[in-house]
Structure 1
């Protein structure tokens, strides 16, 4: 399986939205209530994705010309890492994170932080991130994690 990681383009917004919503509904739904999932989904419609592209460095993973994953870097904060449920467990999330680490290192970021879902906490831990604290946004629990980058 050939997987290309590249910067997200405006025409990717619809596909990114579909990947995120599918991952929320299938993967994150194991750890969050339907109400929390529905609330989070509202932040990932195509129009919202276009707005986020202007604020963050957004990347996509492409397999056979289809967007199957996404990840963003907002200065020193990793945001919105999602892989299509059909493609999870194949190293795509790791490849997206490797690209974000490269970009952050080139920008001389000393520490990456990520507001992780409960679902992704073990994924980030496997990449070396350590839990800093829990945050609560209503019923949504987020795990703040950090990773020191080598200079």
Structure 2
């Protein structure tokens, strides 16, 4: 079945939280210690996700009305791009990023930034992002990556 990309609603908060936590535990756990995974998980409780919905433009990818991936845009920063591990490698992350880039381009954002996990670096690199620097939050290493967006052509 073809995935649908749509804006997230408060009713999606529990499903978004589950997708993120599953992805952290299965995919990101290959690159980060259990302590770091547990710390990051706290930022994605159902309540935290519900709060993020009012602060960012959050999108979900659904298959048969089930949330299987999410991504958000916070001004010029891409945040919280996660795909359920059972659906990774099928282009859902790319589709969500295309949606976010389209919105950013329409908003005349010139440079899109993303704080990437080590796990996602190759994904963003394939999309044209380049590493600018490392940031450390305690023992957690995050890669700050950027991509210049094409200017929207006047019609």
Spell out, residue by residue over 1:106-126, the C-alpha distance to the aligned partner (whole angstroms, 9 max, x if none).
100000000000000000000
Q: CA RMSD in A?
A: 0.4
Q: Provide the rounded CA distance (Å) in 2 between the counterparts of 1:97 and 1:61.
A: 11
- The residue that corresponds to 2:116 in the other structure is 116
Superposed structure 1 runs of 4+ greater than 6 Å apart: none
What is the TM-score with the length of structure 1 in the denominator? 0.99
Distance in 1 of aligned mates of 2:108 and 2:50: 27
Partner in structure 2 of residue 20 of structure 1: 20
Q: Deviations over 1:20-75 (max 9, x none)?
A: 00000000000000000000000001100010011100000001110000000000
User: Unpaired segments of 5 or more residues in structure 1?
Assistant: none
Pairing 1:61–2:53 present: no
Query: Does residue 1:138 correspond to 2:109, yes or no?
Result: no
Other-structure match for 2:77: 77
Q: Secondary structure at the match of 1:109?
A: coil
State the distance in 1 between where 2:111 and 2:61 align: 24
Q: Secondary structure at the match of 1:90?
A: coil
Report the 3-state secondary structure (helix = DSSP H, G, I; strand = E; otherwise coil) of the residue aligned with 2:109.
Answer: coil
Which secondary structure state, in structure 2, belongs to the residue aligned with residue 69 of structure 1? strand
Q: What pairs with 1:16-55 in structure 2 (closer than 5 Å)?
A: 16-55=16-55
How many residues are matched?
151
Q: How high is the TM-score relative to the length of structure 2?
A: 0.97
User: Could you give the per-residue CA deviations for residues 77-109 of structure 1, whole angstroms, max 9, x where no partner exists?
Assistant: 000000000000000000000000000001000
Structure 1 residue 10, shift from structure 2 partner = 0.4
